[in-house]
Amino acid sequence: MEARALAKYIRISPRKVKPIADLVRGKNVDEAKAILKFTPRKGADILLKVLESAIANAENNHDMNADALYVAEVYANQGTVMKRFVAGSMGRANPILHRTSHIGVVVKER
C-alpha cells in the first residue's frame, strides 16, 4: 500500500530541488522531516510541505500507521517554463526562462 502527494507548477527550478530530494529518499518519515526542517534551502520547505501532505493522505485515506511509514519515492520533474523577454543591447530581446517544478512524494508502510 502506498500514499502519494503531488505539488504542481511550483516556482522553483527542479535543478535546485533534486539534491534535496536525494537527501530524504529511502528514509523513515520522522528522520526525513527532521532533515528537511534543518536544511537551509527554499526547496526543503516546499518538499517538507509535500511530505506532510503524503503522510496525511496515508493516515486519512489508506488507514496506515504513521510510525511505520518511509519515503519510497521523491521526485522533482520539470513543469512548464514561463518565457519572458527583457530588452537587450542594440535593439535585441534577451529571453528569461522562469522554470517550474512538479514535486512528488510517495510513502509506503514497512
CA gap 46, 53 in Å, rounded? 11
**For residue 1, pLDDT beyond 90:** no
Domain boundaries, the chain: 2-109
pLDDT digits (tens, 9 = 90+) for 48-103: 999 999 999 999 999 999 999 999 999 999 999 999 999 999 999 999 999 999 99
pLDDT digits (tens, 9 = 90+) for 14-61: 999 999 999 999 999 999 999 999 999 999 999 999 999 999 999 999
**What residue has cell string 512548464?**
80
Q: Note the pLDDT of residue 72.
A: 95
Pick the CATH number of 2-109 from 3.90.470.10, 3.30.1600.10, 1.10.10.60, 3.40.50.11710: 3.90.470.10
Amino acid present at 9: Y
Q: Note the pLDDT of residue 35.
A: 96
Q: Of 54, 20, 50, 55, give the one whose Cα is nearest residue 38.
A: 20
